[in-house]
Structure 1
Amino acid sequence: MKKSEKYFIDFFDRKKDDISFITLKKGAKITLGKNSYTTDKELPVPIRINSLIEDIQKQDEYDGVMLNNIVDGIIFLLGTNFEFEYKEVYLNILKTLNFEIEPYVIYCINQFDDKKVDDVVVYGKFLININENDKNCFVYASCLERKSVYLLNKELDGANYYMSESLKYFEKSLDYNNKFALSYYKLGFYYKTNQHYLKAKLYWEKQLEYDDDSNRIEEVREELENLEVYVQYETGYNYVLDGEPQRGLDILLPIVKVYNNWWNLLFFIGLAYRSLEEYEIAQRYFENVLQLNEGQIHALNELGLCRMCLEKYKGAEEAFTAALALEPKNGEFLCNRAAAYIYNGEKDKAKKDIEHALKINSKDEVALELKKMIQ
């Protein structure tokens, strides 16, 4: 079982503890307007503990348990445990009363404040359980997103689980309806935030194709205009990572004329030049990255590699040592520094780094090869 699956199983199991039951006698009548449901035998109905306490305290004002609290209990129970033995009976009660449950649940979700953010998730899950379609997937995804944002703002754990699950259901809504504009809209922002600019552009272009809301259309057009430089950046660095550094540079270098303080951009330009064996130029770019972002660990490593290729072994040692200060158990950095030590004639120091790397991973091929070199 995946960690995320267990996380949500545990969450819904905890929420079940909020539910208690009352027993309706045979012949008890539940009424809504002109419609009523009469029990044909004793029936346990769910009600949340807090709601039950409130109803008991208000018994002088009316007789019995309020219908909205019974409905809330049914929603909460079937949102957390859709296999409950009286599921069909509860759904039949709502049907007999002609209770429009889906609009009601969506209304409640919109009314809940952040104090009830867990209720938002459970109510959204109820919609999925009774009718998984494009609209309900979108609503549930929005509920999960809201909980994720809440946890992030409170600096609490678990936000990543809710955001990942939210993404899954936004995507699922498009499986049901590939013209569902709101999901394209939301996914565009998700991918932009996570620096997947090409995907963000794709989703927003789809949203413009299907949306009829003028305000959202105008908003997304502005987003797409601002996104264009990031799309070029992502296209360029993908070429670099795919082994086509010159094609990457052809796209990235024009951007750096305007965005010369963007360290991510400078990093990939440095990486492209290192791939082209232009080590002096690459070295300058990685040094510029570190001026903008002193603790950029990968830039430190790349700088060390450039200096190694330029036979600046002492400078390489310094770069790898700075990287290891930030990440002491990184086997790659240890092996790189060990190589610099070897070329600089410091075999004892090299041995210590190699031994350390092999403690971390006894099958590290680079460490084993360096060990042979020393022997």
Structure 2
Amino acid sequence: MIKGDKMKIVDDYFLKKVDRVSFVQLKKGTKIEIGNYTIKEDIPLPIVTTTLIEEIKEGHIEEELKVSYIIDGAIYILGIDIDFKHKNEYKKILYNYNPDIEGYILFKGFQFVKEDNLDSGAIFFRALAGLNPENIEGLFNYALSLENIGKNFIDLGHKDKGEAFLIESTSQLEGILDIDINYPLAYYKLGYHYKYYEQFQKAKLIWEKYLTLDKEEERVQEIREQVEIIEDDAKFEEGINYITKGHYQEALDNLIPLSYKHKKWWNIFYLVGLAYKGIGEYEEAIDYFYEALNLEGTDVNIYNELGICLFSLGDIQEAINIFNQGIDQDDTDYRIIFNRGLAYFKLGLVDKGKEDIKAAYILNPNDRVVGNYMKQLETYY
């Protein structure tokens, strides 16, 4: 799911609450003065629906509307629908009513959260973030609201919806750092977000920055413990990045100490094997690949890489045996089938080799190497 689809989930969640606001039209020829701003008759007046119903019940609706009702209604609709047709007029109304309207919205948002009315709190913080995209307190508390909504969805088994809110929460927190690079609470929360996404290096770096900024000792100690918890995961991730970049010795420097500490993590042994293979030390690589299999690693890539190393050292029959085991695990991986085909050719088993090359080509006709071998088959066989 692309980011736009995730954002739509968040927008739709709030838009579905539009029935919380009702609109009253001024009588023709009437107007309302708020500070230096005049509300004209063609601007619908937003009122929280529950408030409007109470006014109707008590027979007050025919009397002059209280401006405070309009203010709360405007805040609600701006938080519910960020693209509302009259949003610019409502913004003028709010700032003319109270130059410190942002402080009022923040205060009301906190009140809602304290009362466990998380949706109304989120709506008010969202309205504040829309009114002033550089109000850090508004942005931070909106991010917290999104996170809480996301967690609730995940707890209810709606992971996709929940993660849509978490992604938007992360985006808001990252945006805060574009405004104030030294805002500690954004770093504090972002670390947890990156940890959830299993981006352990980012989490570690973000938390290490946080530790230089905050003075709240209990929170600081909490994050020190979190950094220690993810230390090995961060090193593991760093090892993967080194392998991806072809920096195999640096990968070994990160991963070999982990293999001593985590003797049951087959994926560490697999990655160490990849790194040794990358520097041409095939015998070392073979030992680590076999250990990954002994630890019940079942990924077809282990068999494929092990088979390549055996093939490179001239142990063709054992390579074929390993390729066979890997294909038993996954017979849709064209690479291991192709490599077995090459091994068959090496042993002079041409028919079996041709069969595998053709099968690999059918599975992925776009692979350039496989395509070249198919052309050779058509030319020479």
TM, length-normalised to structure 2: 0.78
Distance 1:123 1:334 in 2: 58
Q: Give 1:108 shift.
A: 2.9
Distance 1:346 1:72 in 2: 81
Question: C-alpha deviations, 1:348-371, integer Å up to 9, x for none?
Answer: 554454444444543311211332
Greater shift, 19-28 or 185-194, is seen at: 19-28
SS of corresponding position for 2:366: coil
Q: Give 1:62 shift.
A: 6.5
Q: What are the ranges of 5 or more consecutive residues in structure 1 without an aligned counterpart?
A: none
Distance 2:338 2:69 in 1: 64
Match of 2:323 in 1: 317
Once the two structures are superposed, the pairs formed by residues 1-375 of structure 1 within 5 Å of their partners are 3-9=2-8, 11-13=10-12, 15-20=14-19, 21-26=22-27, 40-41=40-41, 43-46=43-46, 51-52=49-50, 55-56=52-53, 59-61=56-58, 63-64=60-61, 73-98=73-98, 100-109=104-113, 111-112=115-116, 116=119, 122-133=123-134, 134-156=136-158, 157-309=160-312, 310-311=315-316, 312-325=318-331, 328=332, 330-345=333-348, 347-374=350-377, 375=381
Please tell me whether the aligned partners of residues 140 and 173 of structure 2 are also in contact (alpha carbons under 8 angstroms).
Answer: yes
Q: Give 1:132 shift.
A: 0.9
Identify if the C-alpha distance between structure 1 residues 317 and 40 changes in structure 2 by more than 3 Å, giving closer, same or farther.
closer
Distance 1:111 1:301 in 2: 58
Please tell me whether the aligned partners of residues 140 and 186 of structure 2 are also in contact (alpha carbons under 8 angstroms).
Answer: yes
SS of corresponding position for 2:261: coil
Distance 2:16 2:141 in 1: 24
Residue-pair matches, total: 362
SS of corresponding position for 1:210: coil
Distance 1:299 1:201 in 2: 29
Q: Give 1:182 shift.
A: 0.7
Letter in 2 for 1:263: W
Q: What are the ranges of 5 or more consecutive residues in structure 2 without an aligned counterpart?
A: none
Which of 1 and 2 has higher RCO (CA within 8 Å, sep 6+)? Answer: 2
Q: Which runs of 4+ in 1 moved over 6 A?
A: 28-31, 65-69
Please tell me whether the aligned partners of residues 337 and 359 of structure 2 are also in contact (alpha carbons under 8 angstroms).
Answer: yes
SS of corresponding position for 1:188: helix
Question: C-alpha deviations, 1:209-258, integer Å up to 9, x for none?
Answer: 11121111111122233444444444444444433333432443233222
Letter in 1 for 2:140: F
SS of corresponding position for 1:63: coil
SS of corresponding position for 1:22: strand
Distance 2:294 2:67 in 1: 65
Letter in 2 for 1:281: E
**Root mean square deviation of aligned Cα:** 3.7
Q: Give 1:183 shift.
A: 1.0
Question: C-alpha deviations, 1:284-323, integer Å up to 9, x for none?
Answer: 3223323434433432332333333342232232243044
Please tell me whether the aligned partners of residues 19 and 73 of structure 1 are also in contact (alpha carbons under 8 angstroms).
Answer: no
SS of corresponding position for 2:338: helix
